[in-house]
């Protein structure tokens, strides 16, 4: 997946989805904020996380995504030539949740033909620090559970994919392992997370 979604296309997806959004139906398990050192500055995305995951096209309604059936995520590289990374802003954004942490939008898609739940989590491979996920004003969690029968938003293509707009939170740049589990399978992908020079959000 050498060619990922441009930030402009990703923003368009969210502009379409948000006006019709309902409160996300991802199951939230409240998680205490771990005692993690949060970087005062967002460093550059590392280049030693291994082969970059390759994007796939799942629908004409969405730009290429990471993952495999039944769940995928749209990751913004911040530019027009993404390399399978999640680009974070150089300036820290202020949100009501997780003060001091760094956040970026990710749209999760779950195939509507899948029946059941999909569990997601992620960690920094160097120090084990977690990825947090929020959906709207939900409590931050490290272990969201998606049910395609209860999507978090609606947009073109929703008849094929349940949409779950989220914020993904990290404490620092690094290589992060994301794992999705469902009844009968799982996928794991390691992605680089950090600032990408020339990116704009």
pLDDT tens figures, 84-127 = 789 898 888 888 789 899 999 999 999 999 999 999 999 999 99
Alpha helices in the chain (DSSP H): 7-17
Rounded to an integer, what is the distance from CA 146 to the centroid of its chain? 13
How much is the pLDDT for 56?
81
Query: How confident is the model at residue 116, as a pLDDT?
Result: 96
Q: pLDDT value at position 94?
A: 80
| Residue 199 falls inside a structural domain | no
Residue 157: CATH number of its domain: 2.60.40
Is 14 contained in some domain? yes
132-134/185-194 β-pairing: unpaired
Q: Is residue 164 part of a domain?
A: yes
Q: Which comes out higher in pLDDT, residue 11 or 201? A: 201
Give the model's confidence band at 189: pLDDT under 50 very low, under 70 low, under 90 confident, else very high.
very high
Per the structure, the complete domain to which residue 153 belongs is given by 7-194
Give the mean pLDDT of 71-94: 77
Q: Which residues of 86-121 are buried (b: 16+ CB within 10 A; e: fewer)?
A: bbbbbebeeeeebeebbbbbbbbbbebebeebbbbb
Instruction: Tell me: cis bond preceding 70? Omega within 30 of 0 counts.
Output: yes
Residue 86 lies in a domain: yes
pLDDT at 81: 53
- Summarize the confidence of residues 18-36 as an average pLDDT: 48
74 found inside a domain: yes
Distances from the Cα of 110 to the Cα of 41, 107, 149, 159, 172, angstroms: 33, 10, 10, 11, 28
Given this model, what pLDDT does residue 110 score? 95
- Residue whose C-alpha is closest to residue 106's, from 79, 85, 81: 85
Q: Decide: 198 and 178 in contact? Cβ < 8 Å.
A: no
The answer to the question of residue 1 being in a domain is: no
Question: In the predicted model, what is the mean pLDDT of residues 39-53?
Answer: 91
Q: Taking 70 as the threshold, does the pLDDT of residue 77 lie above it?
A: no
């Amino acid at each position: 997946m050498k060619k990922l979604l441009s930030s402009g296309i990703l923003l368009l997806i969210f502009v379409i989805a948000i006006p019709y959004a309902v409160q996300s139906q991802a199951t939230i398990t409240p998680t205490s904020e771990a005692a993690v050192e949060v970087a005062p500055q967002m460093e550059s995305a590392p280049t030693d996380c291994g082969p970059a995951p390759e994007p796939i096209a799942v629908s004409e309604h969405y730009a290429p995504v990471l993952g495999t059936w039944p769940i995928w995520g749209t990751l913004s590289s911040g530019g027009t030539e993404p390399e399978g990374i999640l680009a974070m802003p150089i300036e820290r954004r202020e949100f009501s949740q997780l003060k001091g942490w760094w956040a970026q939008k990710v749209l999760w898609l779950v195939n509507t033909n899948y029946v059941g739940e999909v569990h997601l989590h992620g960690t920094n491979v160097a120090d084990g620090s977690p990825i947090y996920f929020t959906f709207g004003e939900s409590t931050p969690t490290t272990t969201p559970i998606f049910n395609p029968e209860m999507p978090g938003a609606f947009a073109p293509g929703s008849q094929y994919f349940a949409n779950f707009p989220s914020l993904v939170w990290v404490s620092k740049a690094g290589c992060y392992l994301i794992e999705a589990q469902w009844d009968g399978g799982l996928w794991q992908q390691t992605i680089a997370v950090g600032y990408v020079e020339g990116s704009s959000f």
